[in-house]
Amino acid sequence: MVLRNIPVESSEMSLKEAKFSGATALFGEKYGDTVRVVRMGLSSQELCGGTHVKDTGEIGLVKILSEGGIGAGLRRIEAVTGLAALAYLRDLDDQVMEVAQILKAQPSEVGKRVNGLMAQVKDLEREIGQLQAKLAKNDVEGLLKRVVEIEGIQVIAAQVHVSDMEGLRQMADLLRAKLKSGVIVLGAASEGKVNFVTIVSPTGLSGLHAGQIIKEVAKITGGSGGGRADMAQAGGKDPSKLGEAIDRVPTLLRGFLIPIKKV
């Protein structure tokens, strides 16, 4: 429509005539008895009091930047035109050239090279996942040798090296499958934060609650958390306190168990 250089015409008429002519307007708004209707050939006809170009060709290059909902039944289109649109596209071109140089590829091949690299990344991530699974199994075997007994309950409390909460949960699940009955408290530090997972198996073992246990453990690292009776997770803010938190697990468990036994 812009390149066709359509003349922009305006005329005044009654609001009733404007509605009858099919002009676009927000008819929920308040208009006077006489309104201004702006036409651009057969492409657009609407009520508007704003400034307009004489011909659509004056707008020049148009580049839509975004489109989205801003309310019930309302959508907003944001665009740049003319010299601003040209500057925007030149900037995009500069970015493509920079990426092409980094990838050592022609600009037209950037998409193909990026797709190839993404495929390589996925393959490497898959290999890393498999290696981490093998390492986790080895770690589990080592942790099972560190089981201690507290008030007749088998307990594993350890600091482990995993990158995220998902890895921590997976390791805890592997330990639960091997341990059968007991309490597991695992902690790991990553990117300046602390993650904890606690498992009580079977649920309700000696009246213990995983959510209550992990809440007290996480407090030592300046964190908080909770969860179900059989499994809970938490976060902490101070990785330097992780070792202390794990060392305190036996004492915390005795604190939970002794009142239960007295009752």
Pair 54, 146 in one domain = no
Please tell me whether residues 145 and 241 are part of one structural domain: yes
In this prediction, residue 201 carries a pLDDT of: 92
Q: Is residue 70 part of a domain?
A: no
Contacts of 151 (CB under 8 A, 6+ apart): 206, 253, 254, 257, 258, 261
Q: Which residues contact 202 (CB under 8 A, 6 or more apart)?
A: 181, 230
In a domain, 249, yes or no: yes
Shared-domain flag, residues 152 and 40: no
Is residue 165 included in any domain, yes or no? yes
Q: In this structure, is residue 102 part of a structural domain?
A: no
Q: Which pLDDT belongs to residue 73?
A: 84
Gap between the Cα atoms of 91 and 85, Å rounded: 10
> Which residue numbers in the chain have pLDDT < 70?
27-28, 259-263
Structural domain contains residue 238 = yes
Of 14, 37, 59, the position where a domain reaches its end is 59
Domain boundary among 23, 38, 59: 59
* CATH value at residue 164: 3.10.310.40
Residue 123 lies in a domain: no
98 domain residue, yes or no: no
Q: Residue 28: its pLDDT value, please?
A: 63
**What does pTM read for this prediction?**
0.55
Query: How many domains is the chain built from?
Result: 2
CA distance 193 to 221: 9
Which pairs with CB-CB distance under 8 Å and at least 24 residues apart come from 146-149? 147/179, 147/182, 148/250
Determine what percent of the chain is predicted with pLDDT higher than 90. 60
Give the pLDDT confidence score for residue 195 in this predicted structure: 94
What range does the domain containing 235 cover?
Answer: 139-262
Of 42, 59, 76, the domain-final residue: 59
Q: Is 225 within the bounds of a domain?
A: yes
Q: Token pair of 42, please?
A: 């057969």
55, 160: one domain: no
Same-domain check for residues 151 and 42: no
Phi and psi (nearest 5°) for 13?
-155, 175
